[in-house]
Structures are given as C-alpha cells and as structure tokens.
Structure 1
Amino acid sequence: MIDVVATTPGLYPLPDWAKDDLSDLKGHQKHDLIDGDEDAAVADAYADVRADFVADQRDAGLDRIVEGQGRWDDMLAHPLTVQEAVETGGIVRYYDNNNFYRDPRVVADLDASGDVAAELDAAADLLDDGDALQAVLPGPYTLADLATDDHYGDEAEFLDAVGDFLAGEVEAFPAHETLFLLEPSYVTNAPGEDLNELASKAIDRVAGATDADVVVQTYWEAFEETAYAHLMDADVDAVGFDFVAADREANLECINELGTADDIALGLVDGQNTLVEDPETVAERVEWVHDQIPAQAFDTTYVTPNTETFYLPVNKHQAKLSVLAEAAEIAAADAAETEVEA
C-alpha cells in the first residue's frame, strides 16, 4: 500500500506579533539563541513562535512536524552564521527572490555546535504522543554554495568540511522520523564535473549520521542529468522534485531514465504564491506523477510545498498546511482503492 505523507520543508513565515515583538526587543537586527548576550525575552519570543508553528501543523493534520526555523533570519545559511568559525559578511540576495541573508564567511575550522539540535529538542518537548518530528537542514552542497570560504582555500576541501560539519550537527539531534536536506543549489547551480562525486558523498555522509528516513529536497529548477546520476549514488530514502516551478518533463526524464530512490517527495503546492490550492487538485497531481513513472511503485510519497513557505502571509501559509494534509488523505485513499481494483 502506498504511504502518502503530508509535510513541509520548514522555514515558516514569522507571525506578525513576533515581527513586532522581536523588533522592539532587539532592534532591526535579531540575535540568535547561541549568542551569549541574548536577552531572555528574545529567547522567550522565539519559544512562543515555535509553539505557534507546532500548533499550526498539528491543527492542520500534517504527518510530520518541523520546528519551523523561526530563528533562521539568514534562511538556509543560518547553521553557519551562528558558528564561532564564521564571520557574517555583507547582505546577499537569496537566489532570485526579494529576500536576503548575511554572507557567512568561514574563517576557521568548522565544528558542530548543537545549535539546530537545541531547536529540535525544544520542538520535541511540544509534541504529543503520535506526533512525528521532522528535522530540516540545508544540504551540504547548498550550504557550501551559499557561503564564502576564507579558510580552507579549496572548493572540494570546503565542501568536504561542510559535509563533516552537518553530519556532526545531525549526530546531536534528538530522535526524529525524517530528515529533509534542502538542496536548491543542486539544481540552480549544479555541482559540475569536478564536484559531482564529492557532493553526492557529502550528502551520503550527512544521511549516514541519522537512522531517520532522509529526503534530499530540491526546488525551483529541474536536475541536470549528470548531477542527478551522481546523486543516485548517495544512500538516501527519497529525492524531492519541484513540480510547480521546475520543468516537469525534465524531472520525469531523470526519474524514468536513471531511476530514483524507493520513496519520492513531490513539491506540488506553491510555496510562493498566495493562491490556495484545492486539496482534490493536489491529490490528482500526486496520481498524475505516479502515472508518469510506470516502472516504479513508491513505498512512501511525501507531499510538500515546492519551496519554503517563508514568502507567504501567515494565513495563506496556514491554509496551505491544511491543503497538504487533506490532499495526502485523498491521495492515499485513491491509491488504496486502485490497489483493491487491481
């Protein structure tokens, strides 16, 4: 029987009250919980944000609950920007969006700090029996791509160090059902011949640091065939494909020609558009993708937004969480009915 799981890649929009409160508490530059000079009131505000994020997901009925990454002002660069070995440089545009992050400039050997693990510990404390925690991290290739190396001096050595750093972070995580490694750079700025094998090995190393199911989630564009072929060497449970913004046929060509993992993640809800999809339509998209991949029956299909929902107004974000949960239920029921008829 096909297992259809409703989840998200995290990075949620801050509630309006939190934007106002944090601005008042710390001015326009928020500090991170790892900073020794952080005010307890700021930590409390982030804790309240986390509680809101968890409650929203539970109310929507998602199958996996993420921490929400309310503290990640620097988006996917965050796990580096809070490290002692990193200095934050100037403001950089986040891919092609009207969002920005502080350039993390690595100036010394990277070492895991437990920053993300502390967030996940706090999220785990909010879960009820039966809830399933999902961890979220940038993938090693994307994190290296977003950063500036002012220490290692070699692109391959730097990527290798980032992979080791993320694996160390994962080793400190509390028990979690799933780990999403977010790898938009893998498709927007593919590794290239000199880094293809190393990028795959770095992902494999991070995935090997957890017993959870690991999903490599890409978005915005489709895979280049060579990069995808190398990624298939990594021991991950699922690869995620953007079926909203990316070239669908290119995605399907990679899957049908080169195969994919036993599970699959489908970006089917628009994480950047305020139009709220109909659950039945999203469920039909799940069936359509399955129909386009006749040679493979997936054990688990993750149904997600195609990108982070950070870009959305909070009410639209919340509405799309419910759409995901309803669509997954419909898709699972439809798949079960098809199996019975067969």
Structure 2
Amino acid sequence: MTQVVATTAGLFPLPDWAKDELSRLKGHQKSDLVSGDEGPEIVDAYDRARKEVVSVQTDAGLDRVSEGQLRWDDMIAHPLAVADSVETRGIVRYYDNNNFYREPVVTGDLEASGDVAGELDAAAAHVDSGLQAVLPGPYSLADLATDEHYGDEAAFLDAVADFLAAEADQFPDVETLFLLEPSLVENAPGEGADERASEAIDTVASAVDADVVAHTYWGSLDEKVYAHLMDADVDAIGFDLIADHEQNVYNVQEYGTKDDVALGLVDGQNTFVETPETIRERVEWFVEQTDGDYDTVYATANTELFYLPQNKFEAKIEALADAAAIEEVEA
C-alpha cells in the first residue's frame, strides 16, 4: 500500500492584510520589497502572517506544514540575497514568467546566515508535527546567481552547495526537506555539470536528518540529467505532472525512480481549483503507468504557490489534503 502525503512546494502568497501592511511599512509594492534587516514592525507583521499560514495548513489537514517563505521576495534566490558577501543588483526576470527578483552577485566567500533556520524556528513554535523545510536546490541557486569570486562554475556550485548545507545544518528538527530545482529543467546542465549537480544535491541532503525531496518542475528532465539525479542520495524526486506528464512518466519507466516520489498534481500558477477526486485519480494514474511500488507519494502543487490569490491558495491546499485522505493506493 502506498501512503499519500499532502504537502506543498512552499513560497506561499502573503495574506491580503499582510500585503497591505508590509507595502505601507516598506513604502513600495511587494515585488520590489527588500528582504533582510527588517525593523521591529516588519518583523512583527511577518511573524503574524507566518502564524496565519501555518494555521491555514493545519486547519486544511496537510500532512507536512511549511513555514511559507513569506519573506522570500526574491523567490528561491532569497537565501543568497540576504547572505553576507553577496550584493543584490538589478531586477531580473524569474525564469520565463512575470515575476522578478534581485540578482544576487557573490563577491566573497559564502557563509550561512541562519536566515532560513530562524524562520523555521519561528514556525516550529506553532507546529506540533510534520514541519517541512524548503530550500532552493544548489544547481538552481547557482544558476540564478552571478559569481564574481570563485571564478569557476564547478567551484561555484560546490560553494553554493556547502552554503546551503551549512544553512540546513542549523535547522530545527524537520520531517521533510524540499529542494526546489527548476533550473534542472529550465537550464539543463551539460556534460559533466549534470553529475556535479547530483553531487551538489547530495551535499545539501546529507546535512539534514530528514526525508529529502529533489523537486523539479516547469517541464521534465533531459534523460541524462534524470539518470544522474537518480544517483543523488535523496529520498524522492519530484515530477511536474501539470507541465509534462508524458515525459516524466517515460523517465520513470525507462530509468526507475526512488522508493518515494513527489508529484506535482495541482497547478500552482492557475486559479482553477482541482477536485480531490481529480488529484487522487492523477496519483493512481502515475502509479499504474510506472508500475510503482512506492512507499510514499508526496501530493503537492507543481510549483511554488506565491502566484495564486490567497483564497485560491487555500482552496488548493484543502483539495490536496482531502485527496490524501480518501484512501490508500494499492500499488
């Protein structure tokens, strides 16, 4: 029997009241807000918003509860954007959509800031069990950044991986860690770099005593990239079944996968709300197509959720939770 675990890829939309309050406090729109070095009023607003989104997930019945990453104005570039030895410069388009982030430029040796760990510590006070951490995967974070210090792509990727591992080493107890790796799809690593990307993921995964999911999205992985990712010591690989279900299934059929999988089953960028029955049918379809004897299926949105209005975000996580509760899947 396969256990279905309802969760998310994190990066939630701010509650509407928080958008208004933080825009007033910071003086401009959220897309331009600067993370880090917040004053006490801003810290308090984020604390209240974090408590609210934790409560929303708990009330919905999610099996894993994320801190929400509400301060991540630079999306998954955030951990670098608030780090020392990093300058944030011009506004850059976030992959191929209408969101933007400040370009993090690494100008010196990277050292963990404890920023993400601090957010998790704050969330842990409101979560009884099932706390989930979210980090950018090292390949994607290196891809979004600019190196003006290490001077070599391989050395820079290693440095980013070590930076994330040092950050993860400061986490409180978490049950699951999602490493978000959209760049493995959007800007696939070439010969040699694909193996290094897998090794970098290993570095971060080894820093936590938790189940680790390398979640890929906005399409499917090139076959060779996928084969190398299979070598990474993670518990699950994530597949975006919204953007490309056929190639993702083919990769699993051809190369196998881990004992656990994460499936992007609801559209994190579309306001249409999937029914629990539809979500569960998609789980069962994947299991049947891949002839999988999975221990755990993480049922999640395919992408981050900050694209959604607050009410649609809440409806989608409720649908995920309800889908997971229907009944266990027979492999």
Q: TM-score range by the shorter chain?
A: over 0.9
CA distance in 1, matches of 2:189, 2:171: 28
After the TM superposition, which residues 1-342 of structure 1 pair with which residues of structure 2 at under 5 Å, given as runs? 1-28=1-28, 29-33=32-36, 35=37, 38-128=38-128, 131-246=129-244, 248-294=245-291, 296-330=292-326, 333-335=327-329, 338=330
Where 1:271 maps in the other structure, the secondary structure is: coil
User: Aligned with 2:103: secondary structure?
Assistant: strand
Q: What amino acid is aligned across from residue 26 of structure 1 in structure 2?
A: K
Equivalent residue letter for 1:282 = I
Sequence identity of aligned pairs in percent? 65
Shift of 1:30: 3.3
Amino acid in structure 1 at the alignment position of 2:187: N
For 1:143, give the aligned amino acid.
L
Quote the Cα distance in structure 1 between the aligned partners of 2:135 and 2:173: 15
Describe the superposition over 1:287-333 as per-residue Cα deviations: whole angstroms up to 9, x where unpaired: 00000011x30000000001111101000000001000011112xx1
Rounded to whole Å, the distance in 2 between the matches of 1:211 and 1:193 is: 31
| In structure 1, distance between residues paired with 2:26 and 2:278 | 43
Gaps of 5+ in 1: none
The two structures have a TM-score, normalised by structure 2, of: 0.97
1:199 Cα deviation after fit: 0.6
- Residues of 2 paired with 1:167 and 1:263: CA distance? 22
Q: Is the 8 A contact 2:2 2:328 kept in 1?
A: no
User: How many angstroms apart in 2 are the aligned matches of 1:334 and 1:63?
Assistant: 14
Q: Secondary structure, in 3 states, of the residue corresponding to 1:97?
A: coil
Aligned-partner SS, 2:298: strand
Whole-Å separation in 1 of the counterparts to 2:156 and 2:199: 13
Query: Is the CA contact (8 Å cut-off) linking 2:12 and 2:304 kept in structure 1?
Result: yes
Unaligned segments of structure 2, at least 5 residues: none
| Alpha-carbon distance between aligned partners in 2 of 1:41 and 1:291, rounded to the nearest angstrom | 51
Post-superposition Cα deviations, 1:51-96, rounded to whole Å, max 9, x if no partner, equal 1110110110000000000000000000000011100010000011
SS across alignment from 1:321 = helix
CA distance in 1, matches of 2:328, 2:10: 27
Partner secondary structure for residue 292 of structure 1:
helix
Aligned CA-pair RMSD = 1.0
Distance 1:275 1:23 in 2: 27
**For 2:96 and 2:76, how far apart are their aligned partners in 1?**
14
Task: Give 1:226's aligned amino acid.
Answer: K
Q: What do the CA deviations read for 1:82-119 (whole angstroms, capped 9, x no partner)? A: 01110001000001110000000000010111110000
Moved over 2 A (4+): 29-33
